[in-house]
Amino acid sequence: MRKLPARASTGAGHPGGGAVPAGLLACLREAARATWATSRQERGGGLRTSRRVGGYVRCRVAGGGAGRRRAAGPRTTRPPAGRPRRPDGAGITHGVKLATREETAVGDRDLVLLERVATVAAALRSEVEKRIVGQHHVVEGLLTALLANGHALLVGVPGLAKTLLISTVADALDLDFSRIQFTPDLMPTDITGTEVIEEDRTTGHRVFRFVRGPIFANVILADEINRTPPKTQAALLQAMQERAVTAAGDTYALDPPFFVLATQNPIEQEGTYPLPEAQLDRFMMELQIGYPTRDEEEEIAMRTTGEEAANVHPVVAAAELIELQQLVRRVPAPPSLVAFAVRLARATRPDDRESPSVTREYVSWGAGPRASQFLVLGAKARAAARGDAIPGYADVKAVAPAVLAHRVVLGFEAEADGRSTRDIVAELLQESEGWI
């Protein structure tokens, strides 16, 4: 097994969210070697693994020194301190559960692809910045959703470049792009497609032919998605979840990659239709776009009132993007990080016995299991975009507001006290500091 690059085990990639002491890193590597028994068999350039001998390792590092290490034998019971603890003067005690080889191994090709993910992510940011000033958290959210193969909903008042941002991202991707302008009179068949009668000129026979709608593209801009009735909004449900469209009894697969990037204006109520919870749950992230700062607004005015228009060049094609998305799914997630993500999602459910008081007081309905999946996927995508091979708690926390907020339904008590879903998620993130 090839060693991970140094940055794969430091900084935000560490499940504890901080820099990994050199002694701890050496301890973990030695323990991993001591507790793995593998056999290698070359077959088509690949590497096969046989059996796992695992357990727990407990390392204590004082002042960044070499530290002490002990590798347990075959796994039996969890040691008492199986969770990373806070600094206690002499050093940091780390209890680390060793994962399987399949969960932690990174092959030579994956290391190359990991470098490519970071390169593509940097290039996408650079291309987007040619047209978009500021909104860095929104750009990072879109990038995370793209790498995780998820959909995103952009919410903001008019004039904040929501549509321009999505079209710029589409220009930076060498993919088929389709824009659907949602209006009150839009019909489901205007999105998915419809059957038309065609007559064979030679035989005179008439047959039905399916004409594909604008949903058959790689990147879909659903502009002002809340301006169309629920019946039409529902036309996106199957496409967003199953990557397929059913029309006239036949099911048509959508070509990968497939993204729905929607915009919504939160302040207009006349002639709008709130998205149902089932529709909102299909979006991996809801990204809030705010007003630019004074300096950013001055830069916007300078750029947009000149003669030259910025040209955006594509940086990644469909086949390569699919490969990078598959790599993101292969990024190993430590069991402790997965447990943290699941606990954070479950903390939004008022009927869960471990939910905090703020949830039981203000929340009527919490996030479902899809939120746990997206928290882990989002953390993996963020880590891969940096070139890191292992995500950390900081990555889960970074994507949590965009993943959880639109999945939480508040009660009337929250409205009476002026609390928003983002406020609730922020409190949960504060409380989660004690879980690590």
Residue 82 pLDDT greater than 80, yes or no: no
Instruction: Kindly indicate the confidence band of residue 79, based on its pLDDT and cuts at 50, 70 and 90.
Output: very low
pLDDT of residue 105: 46
DSSP per residue over 75-97, as a string?
A: --S--S--S-----SS-EEEEEE
Residue 214 is predicted with a pLDDT of 92
pLDDT at site 37: 31
Give the strand pairing for 250-253 and 244-247.
Answer: antiparallel
The torsion of the CA quartet 392, 329, 73, 47, rounded to 10 degrees, works out to -130
**Are residues 27 and 37 in contact, defined by beta-carbon separation less than 8 angstroms?**
no
Q: Report pLDDT for 107.
A: 60
Assign 253 to helix, strand or coil.
Answer: strand
**Coil, strand or helix: which one is 287?**
strand
Distance CA 263, CA 230 (A): 16
Nearest alpha carbon to residue 219 among 252, 172, 187, 182: 172
Mean pLDDT is lowest, of 71-75, 168-172, 341-345, for: 71-75
Residue 426's Cβ-count burial label (10 Å; 0-12, 13-18, 19+) is middle
pLDDT at 360: 92
- From first CA to last CA, the distance across the chain in angstroms is 29
Which has the higher per-residue pLDDT, 41 or 15? 15
pLDDT of residue 419: 92
What is the pLDDT averaged over residues 311-335?
91
Q: Measure the CA–CA gap between 387 and 242, rounded to whole angstroms.
A: 29
Between the alpha carbon of residue 207 and those of residues 189, 194, 213, the distances in Å are 19, 13, 19
pLDDT digits (tens, 9 = 90+) for 200-256: 778 878 888 888 999 999 999 999 998 888 888 888 888 998 999 988 788 899 999
Q: What is the pLDDT of residue 333?
A: 92
Residue 408 confidence class, pLDDT cut points 50, 70, 90: very high
**pLDDT (0 to 100) of residue 272:** 79
d(CA 280, CA 269): 18
| Residue 329 and residue 380 in contact, taking contact as beta carbons nearer than 8 Å | yes
In this prediction, residue 51 carries a pLDDT of 31
Flag the least confident range among 19-33, 190-204, 257-271, 283-297. Answer: 19-33
Instruction: Report the interhelical angle of 136-147 vs 369-386 (nearest 10°).
Output: 100
| Whether 375 contacts 398, CB under 8 Å | no
Going by C-alpha positions, the residue among 173, 245, 251 that lies closest to residue 213 is 245
Instruction: For residue 433, give the nearest of 85, 113, 75 by alpha carbon.
Output: 85
Query: How far, in Å, CA of 167 to CA of 130, rounded?
Result: 13
Q: Report which listed range, 31-35, 53-57, 203-207, is most confident.
A: 203-207
Which range among 94-103, 151-160, 202-211, 326-335 shows the weakest confidence by mean pLDDT?
94-103
Average model confidence (pLDDT) across the chain: 77
Residue 317 to residues 231, 233, 427, Cα–Cα distance (Å): 34, 29, 40
The mean pLDDT of 72-80, rounded to a whole number, is 41
Q: Locate tokens 């598959």: which residue?
A: 326
The full set of domains in the chain, from first to last, is 1-103 (no CATH), 110-318 (3.40.50.300), 331-436 (1.10.8.80)
Strand partners, 288: 155
Closest among 169, 117, 207 to 312, alpha carbons compared: 169
pTM: 0.73
Distance between CA 37 and CA 31 in Å, rounded? 12
pLDDT of 52 higher than 50 = no
Distance of CA 62 to the CA centre of its chain: 36
Q: Bigger pLDDT: 386 or 98?
A: 386
Backbone φ, ψ for residue 390 (5° rounding): -135, 125
CA distances from 303 to 129, 195, 309 (A): 12, 46, 8
Looking at per-residue confidence, does 18 or 208 come out higher? 208
SS3 content of the chain, % helix, strand, coil (to 5): 45, 15, 40
pLDDT(62) > 50? no
- Give one DSSP letter per residue of 149-185, joined into a string: T--EEEE--TTS-HHHHHHHHHHHEES-EEEEE--TT
